Amino acid sequence: MFVSDSPVCIRRAGPADAAGIQALYAELVGHTDLAVQPERIEQVSRDASTALFVAEVRGVLCGSALVSLCNDVMFRSQPFAVVENVIVTATHRGVGIGRLLFAHIEAFCLKADCSKIMLLSSIERAEAHRFFERVGFAGTRKRGFVKYRRHFSMTPSHG
């Protein structure tokens, strides 16, 4: 794939990508309390159940996506996958970088024999939702729910 006569490289992230990934995430979520740590990227890179992919054009990161395999017992030993933190910079959207990221995600999931790939997307990201549908995700089949850490219960329930 080429963007403006430059090849797009999709690869697994390494610790040296921390600052670039942090900049991508800042564009994705729009707040400053992010903390992408090179040590954590190193841990993720050694985890066979997780892949942090980045897209690079001319040495500059312009996209990223994280995919994690989750153990399941429903379909023998098939895991399912969860995709998070999908971002392609606004200046690089519409040229196929997102499709390339998802092709790498699907290859990772096929190799792991996943039963499905799931993702959540903020309700207001209508453009992203249209993209996810174009790459084969069904936004009308299930309903997603999220409970953030600040709302976790401090005491375990019994029962």
Model pLDDT, residue 18: 97
Instruction: Compute the CA torsion angle 19, 24, 27, 33 (nearest 10 deg).
Output: -40
153 pLDDT band (50/70/90 cuts)? confident
Residue spans of beta strands (DSSP E) within the chain: 2-3, 6-12, 50-57, 60-70, 80-88, 117-119
Cβ atoms of residues 70 and 82 within 8 Å: yes
The domain segmentation of the chain, as residue ranges, is: 2-151
Q: Please state at what angle helix 18-29 crosses helix 38-46, rounded to 10 degrees.
A: 100
Compute the average pLDDT of residues 26-41. Answer: 91
Question: What is the homologous superfamily of the domain 2-151 according to CATH?
Answer: Gcn5-related N-acetyltransferase (GNAT) (3.40.630.30)
